Amino acid sequence: MKNTLKIIFALMILFQVSLSQELYPLKKIRDIQFKPIDSLFLADQLQNSVPQRWTLQSCNFLGDTVRIVGVCVIPPKVLTYTTFGYNMVVADTGYTGAFGYIFIRPPISSTTNPGDTIYYQSILNVERGDLVEIVGRVWDFPGPGESGFPTMNSMTQIIPLRDPNFTLLGTAEVPPPIKMETSDFYEGIFPGGKIKFSTGEPFESGYVELTNLTVNSWLNTTNGTVNLMDDYGNMISTYDASKWWTLRTFRDPNSPYTSIFPINTRIDTIRGWITTVSGSENPRGYRIAPVYTNDVVIGISRPQISSVRRYPVIVTPDTTARIEAVIRKSYGGVDVRDRLIFYSFDNGPFIVDTMQAIVNDSLYYGIIPAQPLGTFVKYFLKAVDINDNSTISASGAGGGLGADTSKGFYFYKVTDGNLTIKDVQFTPFSNGRSPFVGAVTTVRGIVTADTSDIGPSPRTSGGTSSWYLQSGNAPASGIWVYGIIPELYNLRKGDSVAITGTVQENFDVTRIGNVSAVEIISSDNPLPEPVKLTTGIFGPNAGNGDLFAEPYEGMLVEFDTVTVTDIWPTYADPTEFTVSDGTGNIIVRRDGKNFYSNVQNDTLFNMTIVKVGDKFSKLRGIIFYSFNRYKVCPRTNADFGTYLPTSVEDKLDAPIPLRYELANNYPNPFNPKTTIEYALPKEDFVTLKVYNLLGQEVATLKNEFQKPGRYRVTFDGSKFSSGIYFYKLQTSSFNQVKKMLLVK
């Protein structure tokens, strides 16, 4: 019967085919989806910090009506999250992988009566493997005029015409899932990681396969979506687009997905459709939406170890340490046979003991014997099931780090009960965790930052608040203090204080939180001298707990002669910028009460807008950690030293020009300064760079959005040798290079 309907359907539209061929050009899916790699690399750098650059990753032929021919990979009524399932995914007939897929989505409302589905009934005749011609408008969602526009995470789609729209041409082989890595789509942990446009965008709407993942956390329990992490710390989130893999009302009654995956569930393989989503979850970038019932293969479900606690947290010579943990079988797993604790004194051999039950198959404990003052104790837990599959809990670090004994262990030092800042901050392991999390203690030090330096509340998410203490300038001597009691607001730099609170790890930053008492011992003490370091110590390769960077968390440091290298380095916070002393970039946070900014509109607040290439004779600040990067937080203007701008700009009072222009510099030859003028007929992203005779970039004068008008920039060549230089103006649609001569 269905074959008969297909024949009738084909005859009904046959007379329309020739008309559509005349009116609408035939385009390959690749032609629509393709973006040059340099555009995608730039998108990697910008992330969503400059959403106006959304075209770096968007479709070609936006708004054009075209014909495409493709093989159906995901048929209608499977992706039921939108348009009542009146949608599908097709692959290019000349399929080679990259840029070969596209989403077909008729303009049917998902929230109102679907009366207009009658115009798209023909889509329901398309089955997986059918070769189909589609006539429709090329679009990116969200696109111009739509909620959420602009965004760097838009998705290309074809919006079919009402009539004609779908023509069956036969059948074709469905391409197999593309084997990829999680890091092809996202690098690191959200938030704070990096969307990989350069390797992810080519497979937008693709049907891919990922392996060896673990459920790290739940994203939306109502929908059934989770965050998956690979063995290297890269995260991707699922999306419940398919009727087979959702907990929402459009779930198929026969779906195998009846409850959200438990945390720590091992996913051996997941196949799915690569998409982006609009709304609050859009910043996550590419998502994987399992499509068919067999698209998720559960791996070996090992035992779970969670809620590891030590009682007491601060261990003294006269006390044993009681280690408690919840140990149970995982979803899909088998019974746990052994629950073991391993402990070592002063890095000696591990002693193994069996943990005892408090509540059967739930809460267990082990005892570490009392030890002399100063003993270094490390320990970890291991659970083994009846099939000899095991799980290790080695530390309180998140994700896979917590099971990695090469990154560290649970540990403590036997003390007299009085902790120093160094006791709280020091760790010999590369996971950054304090050994005393949860302890209520009193620490002493000199106040190095107060409310006159940094606001009492973080300026943005992932920021710091006012108070820091430091005891000397040896490594691990500084710490962040957080609380709301009024006594904190009386603190001033140079106060010697004793502060009582709880040791916390706040998004991987160790701090004294929930402050309950503040005692000012003396005032007007000299501050510890800043530790002189190089910026490269805190570069992008320094992960949380890095043994060279972590010891300076919370400490006052200083870098000599730094240059602004990037004014939009992170997606997580567009107010951050980077500087380097030549050894590598460090991110500069904006929590301090200073008047340097990378945000152009901050001129309204009389702030100095830093540009790429600007220099500071020194940069001081407190080392902080957020969104997977070590950062420096300058306090006041004094922390910046002497400001040395690379260029001086004037926006000329003149009519808006009709075209782009780049004028000859004057004077030319010059020594040491020269002026460059240019004109913009519309708002645009502008780069103005200087190159030497070898083509090497020596200065960036502009790298920002500018409004239409005429501009004058002064280039200072006092730091460069005599010779021929070139300056290049580039916008979205203009590119020109001119020559100048520096004579000294």
pLDDT in tens, 438-474: 999 999 999 999 999 999 988 877 789 999 999 999 9
Residue 429 lies in a domain: no
Sequence-distant (≥ 6) Cβ neighbours of residue 17 within 8 angstroms: 133, 164, 167
434 lies in some domain: no
What's this model's pTM, rounded to 2 decimal places?
Answer: 0.60
Of the three residues 522, 544, 576, the one that is the final residue of a domain is 522
Strands 585-588, 577-580: pairing kind: antiparallel
Q: Tell me how far CA of residue 15 lies from CA of 12, 20, 105, 205, 396, in angstroms.
A: 7, 10, 24, 32, 68
Query: Which residue range is the domain that position 682 belongs to?
Result: 647-742
CA distance 731 to 209: 38
- Cβ-proximal residues to 735 (8 Å cutoff; 6+ apart), any chain: 728, 729
Q: Are residues 606 and 541 in the same domain?
A: yes
Q: What's the Rg (C-alpha) of the chain?
A: 30
Helix/strand/coil for 253: coil
Q: Are residues 155 and 229 in the same domain?
A: no
* The residue to which tokens 């009709």 are assigned: 658
**Within-domain flag for 586:** yes
* Dihedral of alpha carbons 221, 224, 230, 235, sign: negative
The count of other CB atoms within 10 Å of the CB of residue 397 is 21
**Judgement on whether residues 403 and 475 belong to the same structural domain of the protein:** no
Does 144 lie in the same domain as 28? Answer: yes
Cis peptide, bond prior to residue 312, ω within 30 of zero = yes
Rounded CA separation 728/696 (Å)? 12
The DSSP symbol for 182 reads G
Classify each residue of 360-393 as buried b or exposed e, where b means 16 or more C-beta atoms within 10 Å of its C-beta: eeebbbbebeebeeeebbbbbbbbbbeeebebbb
By the 8 A CB rule, do 567 and 703 touch? yes
* Dihedrals phi, psi of 22, to nearest 5 degrees: -75, -40
Interatomic CA distance for residues 219 and 208, integer angstroms: 21
Q: Output the CA torsion sign for 359, 362, 363, 364.
A: positive
**Is 733 domain-assigned?**
yes
For residues 127 and 225, state if they share a domain.
no
**Which of 85, 102, 111, 78 shows the shortest CA–CA distance to 242?**
78
β-strand partners of 194: 187
pLDDT computed for residue 9 by the predictor: 47
Per DSSP, helices labelled H in 415-566 are 421-425
Angstrom distance (rounded) from CA 348 to CA 354: 19
Is 22 inside any structural domain?
A: yes
Question: How far is 137 from 67, CA to CA, in rounded Å?
Answer: 9
The pair of three-digit structure tokens given for residue 611, joined into one six-digit string: 């540009």
- What per-residue confidence (pLDDT) applies to 8? 46
| CA distance linking residue 550 with residue 547, whole number of Å | 6
In CATH, what number is assigned to the domain containing residue 359?
Answer: 2.60.40.10
How many other CB atoms are found less than 10 A from the CB of residue 603? 11
Tokens, residue 368: 């570490």
631 in the same domain as 560: yes
For residues 316 and 294, membership in a common domain is answered with no
Instruction: Report the C-alpha gap between 134 and 53 in whole angstroms.
Output: 29
Report if residue 281 sits inside a domain: yes
Spatial separation of the C-alpha atoms in residues 357 and 81, rounded to whole Å: 46
Q: In this structure, are residues 499 and 517 in contact, taking their beta carbons and an 8 Å threshold?
A: yes
Instruction: Based on the fold, state whether residues 213 and 184 are members of the same structural domain.
Output: yes
What is the structure's pLDDT at 14? Answer: 46
Considering the domain architecture, whether residues 6 and 146 belong to the same structural domain is answered as: yes
Task: Give the pLDDT confidence score for residue 115 in this predicted structure.
Answer: 64
Q: What is the pLDDT of residue 111?
A: 57
Provide the sign of the torsion angle of the four alpha carbons 417, 419, 424, 428, taken in this order: negative
Q: DSSP class of residue 553?
A: B
Q: How many domains does the chain have?
A: 6
Of 612, 644, 676, the last residue of a domain is 644
HEC string for 670-691:
ECCEEEEEEEECCCEEEEEEEE
Tokens of 89: 């995914």
Determine the Cα–Cα distance for residues 354 and 363; give it in Å rounded to an integer.
13
Q: What does the block give as tokens for 167?
A: 């023509």
Structural element, H or E, at residue 2: helix 2-23
Residue 690 class from Cβ within 10 Å (0-12 exposed, 13-18 middle, 19+ buried)?
Answer: buried
Q: Give the C-alpha separation, 22 to 660, whole Å.
A: 38
Q: Beta strands of 21-122 (E only): which ranges?
A: 65-74, 88-92, 101-104
Q: What is the dihedral of CA 657, 660, 665, 666, to 10 degrees?
A: -10
Domain end among 478, 495, 522: 522
Instruction: Name the amino acid, one letter, at 395.
Output: S
Same domain, 242 and 213: yes
What CA–CA distance (Å, rounded) separates 512 from 253? Answer: 50
Strands 496-506 and 556-566 turn out to be unpaired
pLDDT for 98 equals 87
| CATH number for the domain that contains residue 514 | 2.40.50.140
Average confidence (pLDDT) per 10 residues, the chain, 744 residues: 49 47 81 88 83 85 91 94 89 82 86 69 91 93 76 89 84 91 91 89 94 89 93 90 92 92 88 88 91 91 88 96 92 87 98 90 92 97 94 79 84 96 94 92 98 89 91 96 95 97 93 96 96 94 88 97 84 81 92 90 81 90 91 96 75 84 95 94 88 84 82 89 93 91 93
Residue 419 lies in a domain: no
Sign of the C-alpha dihedral computed for residues 438, 439, 440 and 444 taken in this order: negative
Residue 661 corresponds to which tokens in the numbers above? 């222009």
Beta strands in 526-581 (DSSP E): 531-532, 556-566, 577-580
Q: What is the pLDDT of residues 600-628, one digit of tens each?
A: 777 778 888 898 888 999 999 999 998 77
Interatomic CA distance for residues 542 and 583, integer angstroms: 13
- 427 part of a folded domain: no
Tokens read off for 336:
């746990």
**Pairing assessment for the beta strands 556-566 and 531-532 based on DSSP bridges:** parallel
Claim to verify: residue 132 and residue 56 sit in the same structural domain: yes
Distance from C-alpha of 624 to C-alpha of 630, rounded to nearest angstrom = 6
302-328 exposure pattern, b = at least 16 Cβ within 10 A, e = fewer: bbbbeebebeebbbeeeeebebbbbbb
Check residue 11 and give its pLDDT: 46
- Same domain for 343 and 257, yes or no, is no
How far apart are the C-alpha atoms of 16 and 163, rounded to whole Å? 9
